[in-house]
Structure 1
Amino acid sequence: MKLRKVMALTLAGAMAAATLTACGGGADETTAAAAGADKETTAAAEDKETTAAAADSGSADAEVVLQVAFENSITEPVGEGWTKAQEIIKEKSGGKMAIEVYPDSQLGDKSSLIDSMLLGENVCTLADGAFYADYGVPDFGIVFGPFLFDNWDQCWTLIESDWYKEQCGKLEEKGLKIIASNWIYGERHTLTNVPVNTVEDLKGLKIRVPSNEIQSKGFDVLGATSTGMALGDVYQALQTKTIDGAENPLATLYGRKLHEVAKYLILDGHVKNFTTWVVSADWFNSLTEEQQTWLLETASEAGEYNNEVQQAAEADYLQKMKDEGVTVVEPSEEVLAGFKEKAQPFYEMDFGWTDGLYDTVRAAMGANE
């Protein structure tokens, strides 16, 4: 297979270059940050050994192998989740199916992996609604809108809804099959170099966001000036005050050492970032019904494991940030209401969405009950 041939040529070099990276979201969220890399040398060496074990999953004797590739480190919650998945699918299938795990962009970036899926390759990666909007399912983008969800339960209600299943069906028609949607990636918060206590404090601040329309406009509507930028450039941009802040889950903010150059964190949770795992629809349909069931059950059960790890990791990251001098604001319900009110015009913008989409999705997630 094409990817396996490429992997054989590049794996040694990629693993030698692997460094400890942390969570992010969107297509460019998990590029390695140069800043702080010297502090992660030991962790990177440990990652190298763990990665080798993850790739060597006993797949040689399996009838079906899925290569799960992502830009995160193997030691992050998503990496731990897929390591767990290797055990689960081996048990379910009696060794007939296997999962090989390739973190740290070893098999390429998200776009190249998706391109391989569209050619029918046996690869899997993580993506989100904003990304799927760019692949021809515009309504999917709304799940990355600011303050759409009031709590995580609404996320889980939504992914079981008819609306969500319809979007998955449309994506499958485009050649991509979602095999799990129950993985928590983290709540996205805002780290700045000046205090932010209310939404009004964001006015005029240059906040780094991933380079996509939904997230850019999602911050502009709050009064900030969104700045699309590669994650690896954010540390220096904060240090030189080219930007005033950045947003991401705690794992990314801490893992990229951004708190060293921006000392104010508001836990606004503007996006509840659940992520999905996607494979080639053609490849999935080539499996037997039994094999499909093994894979779907494995991905879901591994997601539950990821969520447990994620919850514990976020508490740890937050405490570390406090210990290292970050001023943390936990906004009141009144303050959060101000953020949500400011965000509402976002859902009236033209993203090519179906008429009445916001109300449809809010109903599907049970927000009106």
Structure 2
Amino acid sequence: MKKMILFVAGIGLAVCLTACSGESKPVAESTEKTGESITNESSADKENAEVVLQVAIENSASEPVGQGFKKAQELIDEKSNGEVAIELYPDSQLGDKSSLIDSMLLGENVCVLADGAFYADYGVPDFGIVFGPFLFDSWEQCWTLIESDWYQEQCAKLEEKGLKILASNWIYGERHTLTTEPVNSVEDLAGMKIRVPSNEIQSIGFDVLGAASTGMALGDVYQALQTKTIDGAENPLGTLYGRKLHEIAKYLILDGHVKNFTTLVCSAEWFDSLTKDQQDWLTETMVEAGEFNNGVYEKADAEYLDLMKSEGVTVVEPTEEQLEAFKEKAAPFYEMGDKFGWSDGLYKTVREAMGE
């Protein structure tokens, strides 16, 4: 089988859990925000590998997801005996998420972390609801949902659009809000410019809370906080800390507005070009690496919070009453189905699919 080559031009879940489920020069980059020198290494000697999948993430390699992909490199090397290799490009080295997803539609051998909100923008509107504010009350509801018939149907629709989900069992984290001015309640968000990823679901999901959402690539957030272009950002603690955003924004409210499970997505065209063994090695690897990631996340989340506190961040832990106020403020989001192009009764369908 010929070696598959990624040509990057101008871009600067098993079955669904397991089956809803090349080559470039290594780049060494020293990143100011993480303070570590990162060399992109394959999971095997890519000169001998028949297949190379380039995993591009906006996160630093030190975050739980970065460690999860390092585990994936080990696993794929073992499973394929070096036939398949994974290259890891952290810190947005290959560009922003939307550009990378666009490249997948051209058949390129790149993989990213992405979520339902992005898939809504790529032709599967119902997928967007999984990123709605305060949809999930527990992680167990997330895992029930991704095993449901409804979720498998969404994965199949996405594949028809050209995008293949390799795994959906990765915890990205509970998303909290970090700001340059104190936020003690949902009312305090009124008018604040809060960075969100550049997609409609997450933008409107934060707008309904009273904030003024600002779509922006993660790599641009540090400078935007420095220049006061934005007043804050939302993300899991590992990402907020990993990008050193707390150096500028010193107020954190643990609102947990989204329980963010994430998916690994690649080109359906590229995936279909692989042999059955190669496909199985990849999907099995990504699911197993997801389990590893989740273990790392569970321990790291508490450590990140302690670090942020020790480095001068004021942390607000909302009371149940305060969280209920957030949920009430978010409720109108689920009445906007027509705006998002959702199927009739989608909210009820999803709540039932998650075991409620």
Place the TM-score, normalised by the shorter chain, in its bin: 0.7 to 0.9
The answer on 1:356 being equivalent to 2:342 is no
1:34-49 alignment runs, 5 A limit: 37=32, 40=34, 43-45=35-37, 47-48=38-39
Q: 1:273 and 1:232, CA in 2 relative to 1: closer, same or farther beyond 3 A?
A: same
Q: Secondary structure at the match of 1:124?
A: strand
The answer on 1:257 being equivalent to 2:244 is yes
In the TM superposition, residue 245 of structure 1 has moved relative to its aligned partner by 2.4
- Picking from 218, 223, 244, the partner of 2:231 is 244
The corresponding residue for 1:28 is none
CA contact (8 A) 2:5 2:24 kept: no
C-alpha separation in 1, matches of 2:266 and 2:61: 19
The corresponding residue for 1:15 is 28
The corresponding residue for 1:74 is 61
Q: How many residues align?
A: 340
The answer on 1:58 being equivalent to 2:45 is yes
The corresponding residue for 2:128 is 141
The amino acid of 2:238's aligned partner reads: A
The corresponding residue for 2:294 is 307
In the TM superposition, residue 78 of structure 1 has moved relative to its aligned partner by 1.9
The corresponding residue for 1:103 is 90
The amino acid of 2:345's aligned partner reads: G
Greater mean alpha carbon deviation, residues 154-163 or residues 246-255: 246-255
- Picking from 111, 121, 130, the partner of 1:124 is 111
Q: Secondary structure at the match of 1:201?
A: helix
The answer on 1:3 being equivalent to 2:16 is no
1:199-348 alignment runs, 5 A limit: 199-239=186-226, 241-348=228-335
Q: Secondary structure at the match of 1:60?
A: coil
C-alpha separation in 1, matches of 2:227 and 2:88: 37
1:22-33 alignment runs, 5 A limit: none
CA contact (8 A) 2:246 2:313 kept: yes
The corresponding residue for 2:76 is 89
Aligned-pair identity (%): 74
Q: 1:239 and 1:121, CA in 2 relative to 1: closer, same or farther beyond 3 A?
A: closer
Q: 1:63 and 1:316, CA in 2 relative to 1: closer, same or farther beyond 3 A?
A: same
In the TM superposition, residue 95 of structure 1 has moved relative to its aligned partner by 3.1
The answer on 1:171 being equivalent to 2:167 is no
Greater mean alpha carbon deviation, residues 179-188 or residues 224-233: 224-233
Q: Secondary structure at the match of 1:3?
A: coil
User: Which structure 2 segments of 5+ residues have no match?
Assistant: 13-21
In the TM superposition, residue 154 of structure 1 has moved relative to its aligned partner by 0.9
C-alpha separation in 2, matches of 1:215 and 1:256: 20
C-alpha separation in 2, matches of 1:3 and 1:94: 22
The corresponding residue for 1:32 is none
The answer on 1:365 being equivalent to 2:354 is yes
- Picking from 154, 175, 186, the partner of 2:173 is 186
The amino acid of 1:362's aligned partner reads: R
- Picking from 126, 135, 148, the partner of 1:161 is 148
The corresponding residue for 2:15 is none
CA contact (8 A) 1:90 1:98 kept: yes
CA contact (8 A) 1:209 1:227 kept: yes
C-alpha separation in 2, matches of 1:169 and 1:311: 30
The corresponding residue for 1:23 is none
C-alpha separation in 2, matches of 1:236 and 1:115: 26
The amino acid of 1:3's aligned partner reads: L
Deviation per CA, 1:167-205, whole angstroms, max 9, x where unpaired? 000000011110101111111101123332222222333
The amino acid of 1:44's aligned partner reads: E
In the TM superposition, residue 216 of structure 1 has moved relative to its aligned partner by 1.7
Greater mean alpha carbon deviation, residues 294-303 or residues 100-109: 100-109
Greater mean alpha carbon deviation, residues 335-344 or residues 203-212: 203-212
User: Which structure 1 segments of 5+ residues have no match?
Assistant: 20-36
Q: 1:4 and 1:101, CA in 2 relative to 1: closer, same or farther beyond 3 A?
A: farther
Deviation per CA, 1:205-245, whole angstroms, max 9, x where unpaired? 33232332211211121122223344455445445555432
Q: CA RMSD in A?
A: 2.5
